[in-house]
A and B are shown apart, each in its own frame.
Chain A
């Protein structure tokens, strides 16, 4: 079974800082990896999808990289804003047609 670890579990930064969230997974036989954002008490919002053949994907201030062979992905957030405060979840998708989630990184951006 795929095991997903996200480090750090919680992160607090001042507004304007660039930051990196880390995700590692045990089974490298993935189709793709998706990063999500979750606000308290809400559903998941898809941020970025990286196919297994890709190395990175960018959307606005977000950049996600994937190193499939080493089982790692990072989410880079540039110029953080208070509105970025949320829990960020990574989810590799395996050939078993399922997303496996980590427990997430809870981000707080301080104005």
Chain B
């Protein structure tokens, strides 16, 4: 069964360092999402791509976060510099249908701990 792949599964870093997360969506899925989930809360959208274009990055802290999906397939989410409050699970999801209409499939997530 096709899955959304994410790496690394776990990342421990010190504040002010740079971190990067990678996501490979299910083949053929045009829509890709990055969510952040703080412990005990539901996920919140950071950025949404349709192919290589950003559809929504209104909740992305652009002073330190960046995301790209250069060829419209896999995607990278970067944080520089990391802060203590960035400790969370970073989840990638993809969807086959046009944004807003289809079922989302999530990866296993990347858990970030900032010391």
Tell which of A13-21, A44-52, A64-72, A73-81 binds the partner: A44-52
Is residue A59 within 8 Å, beta carbon to beta carbon, of the partner chain? no
Q: Tell me if B105 and A98 are in contact (CB < 8 A).
A: no
Q: Which residues of B contact A44 (CB under 8 A)?
A: 43, 91, 93, 106
| Count of chain B residues with a beta carbon within 8 Å of a chain A beta carbon | 25
Which 4 A-B residue pairs are closest in the complex by CB-CB distance?
A: A101-B42, A97-B99, A97-B100, A44-B106
Residues of B within 8 A of A (CB): 4, 6, 40-45, 48, 55-56, 89, 91, 93, 99-101, 103-109, 111
Within 8 A of B (CB), among A54-107: 89, 91, 93-104
Cβ distance B58 to chain A, nearest Cβ, rounded Å: 9
Alpha-carbon distance between A104 and B43 when the two chains are bound, in angstroms: 10
Q: Which residues of A are in contact with B by a Cβ distance under 8 Å?
A: 4, 31-32, 34, 36, 41-46, 49, 89, 91, 93-104
* Pairwise interchain contact A43-B108, C-beta atoms closer than 8 A: yes
Task: Output the residue of B4, B43, B56, B91 with the most chain A CB within 10 A.
Answer: B43
Judge whether A97 and B108 touch: CB under 8 Å.
no
Which residue from chain A places its CB closest to the CB of B42 in the assembled complex?
A101
A35: min CB distance to chain B, Å: 11
17 contacts between A and B (CB under 8 A): A34-B104, A43-B91, A43-B108, A44-B93, A45-B106, A46-B106, A89-B43, A91-B42, A94-B100, A95-B100, A97-B48, A97-B55, A98-B45, A99-B45, A101-B42, A101-B44, A104-B42
Cβ A93 vs Cβ B100 within 8 A: yes
